[in-house]
Amino acid sequence: MLDGKSLALKLRGNIKEEVEAIKAIGNRVPHLAAILVGEDGASKTYVNSKERDCEYVGFESSVHRLSADTSEESLLNLIEAINKDENIDGLIVQLPVPKHINATKVTEAIDPEIDVDGFHTISVGKLTKNEDTFISATPFGVIMMLEEYGIETRGKHCVIIGRSNIVGRPMSILMSQGGRDATVTVCHRYTENVGNFTRTADIVIVAVGIPDFLKVEMVKPGAVIVDVGITRVDSDNAKRYVLKGDVDFEKVKEKCSAITPVPGGVGPMTRYGLLFNTLKSYKKKQGL
């Protein structure tokens, strides 16, 4: 089991210790700012958990909760004001934003120096060229997990299902880059017979958002399976939903050599990724 929850707890502990050392010498602590526009339930949950994570490690955090009818102009003005604030190390705008706001304009308005989500074109360009940058939190979390668990990637066939800008695409770039050296195949909604590709994969990274998409017959014995998917499925429990990954976990876990659960796999590592990037930005600003 690739236990992202325990691993993220350990790694967050390291950040917490660093922050305690920063405080001990009287310096200001790292500060993450978040903007949430509207009332989307999942987005609210994500922002709340990011706020709690900051509190846990000792970062300062500020959350700007804006109403759904906020104009694009006032959102851009707020981003501009935060960009200019020397004491803020990271800024994220929780996506999706309401339809009347252009999401690309928003991500491009964030100063790349504090773009801890790594969505800005400059951040993505640097990632592509293997230059130092903020790697977006989910791909970063997956890479960290593979590294920490000592999963060999060199020369392995890695199949990535999904090609989104926030998961599949950066994941494919990172896995093929020097240092990881995997041979990468990217599958997407127009790929015919995804199973033909996954059955030859040593590592499968699934990010499609379709519960149980990856079936046991699509998996090579002994493969490593990373399940990025999170879908809320209606349930009669207290929360009224359960979280489902993209992998038919119960069956696939018997056939593979390693697998991430949902929840408790990639999710906590993603949250760690954001803290890591905020600390990285802080250190750069402080000349550390």
Residues of this chain that interact with ligand NAD (CB under 6 A) are 138, 161-164, 166-168, 187-189, 191, 194, 207-209, 228-231, 266-267, 270
CB of 163 to ligand NAD, least distance (A): 4
Nearest to ligand NAD of 208, 223 (CB atom): 208
Nearest to ligand NAD of 70, 185 (CB atom): 185
CB of 180 to ligand NAD, least distance (A): 19
Catalytic (active site) residue 280: no
* Three-point CA angle 220, 174, 43, nearest 5°: 90
CB of 53 to ligand NAD, least distance (A): 13
Tokens 């890479």 sit at which residue? 143
Q: Please, what's the largest Cα pairwise distance for the chain? A: 58
* 116 half-sphere exposure, CB direction, 13 A CA radius: 31
Tokens 């040593």 sit at which residue? 202
Starting at the edge strand found earlier in the chain, the sheet holding 203-206 runs 183-187, 157-161, 203-206, 224-227, 258-259
CB of 56 to ligand NAD, least distance (A): 17
Catalytic residue among 53, 115, 117, 246: 117
Tokens read off for 244: 């489902």
Catalytic (active site) residue 117: yes
Nearest to ligand NAD of 29, 34 (CB atom): 34
**The amino acid at 278:** T
Catalytic residue among 53, 89, 94, 248: 94
231: helix, strand or coil: strand
Alpha-carbon distance 106 to 12, whole Å? Answer: 29
* 108 half-sphere exposure, CB direction, 13 A CA radius: 8
Catalytic (active site) residue 94: yes
CB of 106 to ligand NAD, least distance (A): 16
Annotated catalytic residues are 50, 94, 117
